[in-house]
Structure 1
Amino acid sequence: MNNVSIQGDIRYINFEFDPFTIPVLAAFAPIIYVIPTVFIVIKIIKVYVRCLIRKKQELINPHVFSIIVLSQFLSFCYMLADYSTIRLPSTGIMTSWCASGQPSHFLKVLFMLSVYFNYTSMLFPFLLSILRLIPLYRPFNHEKLSGRIVSISTPLIFLYPFLFCFPLFPALGTCLQLKGDYHFGAIFIFYDRSWFNIKQANTLFLNVIAWFFISTVTNTMLYLKLRKLRNKRRSLKLQRAEFSLSVTTLSMLSAYITNLAFVAAFIFLPGSSAYLVALRPYGNDCDFVSVPWIFYLTHPIFKQQKVLPTEEVRQKWAAVVLMKISS
């Protein structure tokens, strides 16, 4: 992509931002689908609070539901962090400001947050499939076991990225010009002077491959087990709930494919990474947008229940109808 900082370069300091460009349109177009998705996530959280805190629902596994809500929150954080390091800088709106300063820890933190939330997003498909496997293999004590796994895995999810992000602690963030067909002034935020010169792309690449493989294996096991038990379920609603969770978990795997394509290109085909960097944010959006919409539209817990009128109400309706007929 590039390894030459723009900071201190008079050409970039004097750069004038033009709001009427394709990068600006591409950066703000996601608002069309992000805002409705945020409302869907809020609805999911409301149902989660109502059904799991106020009363227990047979269709809801509280541990699975809590992990889905947490994954959506962190996916939204990842999208915002990625927006601040690639989408927004590529429009040119930050170019003059960034070129006027020096490499800083503030810019490093922006980049580090993007990497941090990228790592957290890799863990949820595996964790969800494990939580759904437990009731199938440990039906008598699955609630206690699932609760223990969630209580242990949740803090680990937040700590896991530091195993790979710690070389960035002494690094400084810097702004670089995007190459390829990008216009002059289209930049992105990167880093320099990390510990041990460890490349984040290499560790990301290994993590994506490992977690994609593990998640595929666990989801295959889950599918085979559910296929055997399909005709033994107690109700059609439970079958629909299982189907909803299955397609929701599978939709999370799209993040692996997007990350794998971009990181592999960055390592092995650096010349093409300048073009893939424009597509990667939309691939990341698929995870944030598709998961809540699929979950909300397919799970029966979100279907509005029709409330049947009581006997007293039916009698009043009948009396009103008779009065209209007689008149």
Structure 2
Amino acid sequence: MSWNSSLLAGTVHFDPAYINYTFEWKQFPILFATLPWIYMIPSFIVICEISCVYLQSNWRKSEPGKNKHVFLVISLSQITCFALFFSDFWMTRLPSTGVLTSFCATIPPNHWLKLILFSALYFNYLAMSFPFLMPVIRLIIVTFPKTHTKINTNLIRYGVPLIFIFPICFTFYLIPALGVCKQRAAPYPFGAVWIYYINSAFGLRNSFFHLYNLIFWMTCSVLANVLLFYQVGQARARLIRAQTSGASKKAHTSITITTLAMITFYVTNGAFLLMYIFYYGTNSYFSYAEIIRPFGNDLQTCVVTWVFYLTHPAFRKSTQDSDMVFSTSSFRRRANNSV
């Protein structure tokens, strides 16, 4: 199959300089591709533990500080974030090392490369939407204390499938597109490539779809949190009477901190996206932000996961059990002494 040279302009495909490229170990993209696994592997283990709590808990039995809808949303959100990291690793971090450059230069643009790109974009949109459900679920709990379980069950039943479907609305233009490998702009060295696309429907680009979604979901999440805090303030006396256990209070604080940590993802992601739109490929110092952009995306995966895990009482069972044993033994000693 013959390819139009203008269609391949800006890519590495069939370029002799890239076909003969020799991979070199001593380059900073190598470090940036290996470093994230140091903190991502432990974070993934914690994500699995959070998901296990949701899957193994007996939700028919009420436990202070545990809500099945909250655990489901956090599990889905963090699994999605890790999937985003993994797909972005194949789209940007690994190709940037140069290990695939020569191979990419010998193959034509194809739909397999596009699938890698599509996966990264798809999970990115999911990672933007799931955090919005957190304050909404808590707002329903506060506003409808007697019927919140039924309402949230319906919200999850219909809301989660819609969230999984909606990214298609912002990636449909990739259907006729082909995935390509392109040289990354400075300060990346020669041979550092990444996966992009050509021949999209109507010439549409993802950058502005991404930006508008960030603004929309961040606005919705902030408004939902503001409304939630207002409702909590209005019903503070009622909540204090209802949440008598220490576990409930600690869980409430944990989920609040976790929800606020999720919002930081919108801010960091939006800042890096704006710098990419306006400065990528230029001589501006802001163009260097593209180097640390993937680390900004890692924030939601790691920070939210560890904040929730380290602050929620559901993961302190061993401590609670030991305290209960101590308290029981102390009670028995006092009872014996009194006899």
Does the pair score TM above 0.5? yes
1:23-172 pair list within 5 angstroms: 23-52=29-58, 55-172=61-178
- The residue that corresponds to 2:225 in the other structure is 219
- The residue that corresponds to 1:243 in the other structure is 253
Distance across 2 between alignment mates of 1:6 and 1:61: 51
SS at 2:171's partner residue?
helix
Distance across 2 between alignment mates of 1:259 and 1:3: 29
SS at 1:8's partner residue?
coil
Q: How many residues are treated as equivalent by the alignment?
A: 313
- The residue that corresponds to 1:252 in the other structure is 262
Q: Of 202, 206, 219, which residue of structure 1 is paired with 2:208?
A: 202
Give the TM-score of the pair, scaled to structure 1.
0.90
Give structure 1 stretches of 5+ with no counterpart: 319-327
Q: Are 1:279 and 2:292 an aligned pair?
A: yes
1:56 Cα deviation from its structure 2 partner = 3.8
1:146 Cα deviation from its structure 2 partner = 0.3
Distance across 2 between alignment mates of 1:54 and 1:95: 54
Tell me, yes or no, if the aligned pair for 1:230 and 1:239 is still in contact at 8 Å. no
Distance across 1 between alignment mates of 2:129 and 2:165: 12
Percent identity, aligned pairs only, is 38
1:19 Cα deviation from its structure 2 partner = 2.2
1:266 Cα deviation from its structure 2 partner = 2.6
SS at 2:99's partner residue?
coil
Distance across 2 between alignment mates of 1:254 and 1:201: 20
- The residue that corresponds to 2:276 in the other structure is 266
Distance across 2 between alignment mates of 1:31 and 1:227: 41
Greater shift, 232-241 or 153-162, is seen at 232-241
Compared CA separation, residues 3 and 237, structure 1 to 2 (3 A): farther
One-letter code aligned to 1:268? F
Distance across 1 between alignment mates of 2:174 and 2:50: 35
1:230 Cα deviation from its structure 2 partner = 4.0
SS at 1:29's partner residue?
helix
Distance across 2 between alignment mates of 1:202 and 1:25: 30
How far does the alpha carbon of each residue in 1:141-179 deviate from its partner, in whole angstroms, 9 at most, with x for none?
Answer: 110110000000111111010001000011000011011
1:54 Cα deviation from its structure 2 partner = 7.8
Give structure 2 stretches of 5+ with no counterpart: 1-7
One-letter code aligned to 1:66? L
Distance across 2 between alignment mates of 1:20 and 1:269: 27
Tell me, yes or no, if the aligned pair for 1:254 and 1:283 is still in contact at 8 Å. no
Distance across 1 between alignment mates of 2:44 and 2:251: 22
- The residue that corresponds to 2:325 in the other structure is 308
Distance across 2 between alignment mates of 1:151 and 1:294: 27
Distance across 2 between alignment mates of 1:208 and 1:256: 6
One-letter code aligned to 1:296? Y
1:224 Cα deviation from its structure 2 partner = 2.4
Compared CA separation, residues 238 and 228, structure 1 to 2 (3 A): farther
1:198 Cα deviation from its structure 2 partner = 1.2
SS at 1:93's partner residue?
coil
Give the TM-score of the pair, scaled to structure 2.
0.87
